[in-house]
Amino acid sequence: MNKNKDLNKGIYKGISFIIVVVCMLFIFLNILEAKAHAEDLSEIMPKILEFDELTEEEISKEKYYRILDEDEELITTMGRRVYVDDEYITSDNEYYRVYKVEEYTAYARLIEKLELAPPENIRERETSGENAPLPGAKENDIMMAQGEDGVTRAIAIYHTHNAESFVPTDGTHSIDGQGGIHEVGRAFQRALEDKGIRAIFSEDLHTPHDAGAYRRSRQTVLELLEQEPDAIFDIHRDSAPPGEYATAIEGVPATKILMVVGRQNPNMEVTRQFALDLKYISDQIHPDLIKGVMMAQGNYNQDLTPLNLLLEVGGHTNTREAAEHGITFFSNSVGHYFYGTEAENDIEEIPPGGTAAERPLEEGHPIWLAIIRIIALAAVAGAAFFLLNVGTYDNFKEKYGSGLSRYKEKLITIWDRVKNRIR
């Protein structure tokens, strides 16, 4: 009889010990998950989440990533690493998802052909009878770019990868410190200011060009957000053959622009819609300006605000002047989207949910789910550990029953006093 009782007690304690170990393991994993969502992901998983550009050796050997469709027809070429489940929307609005990657070749499946609709704020201006100013009408531009209180609204600009440069113009693809990409940022700033839009341009350095660059530029984004801009743009240049980005807009040599949305951004849907809104406007104003929209593996500090887009303005083999022209044309789309500073085209429909700028952030950030799981698992582990040391319910009652009875009596006495005071 005693042997069976001892055996049962041993089994009971063994099971309790296993529960404690498993719960502690899950708690540890959830702490890592919470940390991954609470801090910059590039610090924890740099290769996977942020450092997706090609190395200097790969660039010199022209080892670009190519995305092919199921018929092995080329969709695009780029200088960032491509992963399974990355998504790409072409200039023709064909929506692809990558299902296989072999070395520098990715294979994507066509999901659907998107029918982009005009942003709702454009529709509202047209139906309200407001006349959009014509391009070049500077006085109207300034009025449209101001709020009712006369304070000019703002667009913020910065560079995570400061050293990026353009070989034909700068003589190299990378310059330590302020590379040629800063001139592209300045061109964007000038173009916005010409429309009466305040452009907040941070030239803070985040060098070197490594996995920690996005962690360093995160502080810059936080500082820019303190000035409450309507949107933030992180200006880059891609690594690609010259023909991949080269174009001409209204007879002017320019580069196309690739918009990049991070898939690890918890508000990715809003950021993607923001990119599609700008693409729709650009397609109307300056056809062939937008190369596409890439939903890439990463965060790119877009979790801080969903209206934060990474722009690839040309490639390292294009001229810097062409990139400056490209970003200048893009400023028309930005001004038109936020402030109505460009001529509007016919509007046919309104996208559900309004524009990306009006769309609320998604609720239920993953960090809270992780914290809740940690608390629940800690409670289970604590209960199991308690039972492991106490034994059966009879043992618990024998060891702590009299003490709990005394506490119960004290609590009843205190409660009676409280009730008497209330009366």
Residue-wise pLDDT tens digits, 7-17: 555 555 666 66
Nearest to 198 by CA among 177, 229, 244, 172: 229
Task: Give the pLDDT confidence score for residue 47 in this predicted structure.
Answer: 39
Distance CA 163, CA 239 (A): 13
Query: What is the model's pTM?
Result: 0.68
Nearest to 188 by CA among 334, 340, 324: 324
SS (H, E, C) 243-272: HHHEEEECCEEEECEEEEEECCCCCHHHHH
pLDDT at 281 over 70: yes
Residue-wise pLDDT tens digits, 286-332: 999 999 999 999 999 999 999 999 999 999 999 999 999 999 999 99
Nearest to 177 by CA among 194, 167, 162, 191: 162
- 410 Cβ partners below 8 Å, 6+ apart? none
Integer-rounded Cα Rg, in Å, for the chain is: 29
Write the DSSP symbol of residue 146.
Answer: B
Residue 123 pLDDT grade (very low, low, confident, very high; cuts 50, 70, 90): very low
Residue 33 pLDDT grade (very low, low, confident, very high; cuts 50, 70, 90): low
234 and 311 Cβ atoms separated by less than 8 Å = yes
Homologous superfamily in CATH for domain 110-360:
Zn-dependent exopeptidases (3.40.630.40)
What is the residue-averaged pLDDT of the chain? 78
Distance CA 381, CA 392 (A): 17
Task: Give the pLDDT confidence score for residue 365 in this predicted structure.
Answer: 45
Task: Give the pLDDT confidence score for residue 53 in this predicted structure.
Answer: 74
Residue 122 pLDDT grade (very low, low, confident, very high; cuts 50, 70, 90): low
With the C-alpha atoms ordered 325, 87, 236, 345, is the resulting torsion angle positive or negative? positive
pLDDT at 400 over 80: no
The four Cα atoms 301, 90, 324, 118 give a dihedral, to 10 degrees, of: -80
Residue-wise pLDDT tens digits, 143-170: 444 444 444 489 999 999 999 999 999 9
Distance CA 174, CA 182 (A): 12
Stronger pLDDT, 401 or 105, i.e. the higher one: 105
Segment 191-209 shows an average pLDDT of 92
Task: Give the pLDDT confidence score for residue 363 in this predicted structure.
Answer: 44
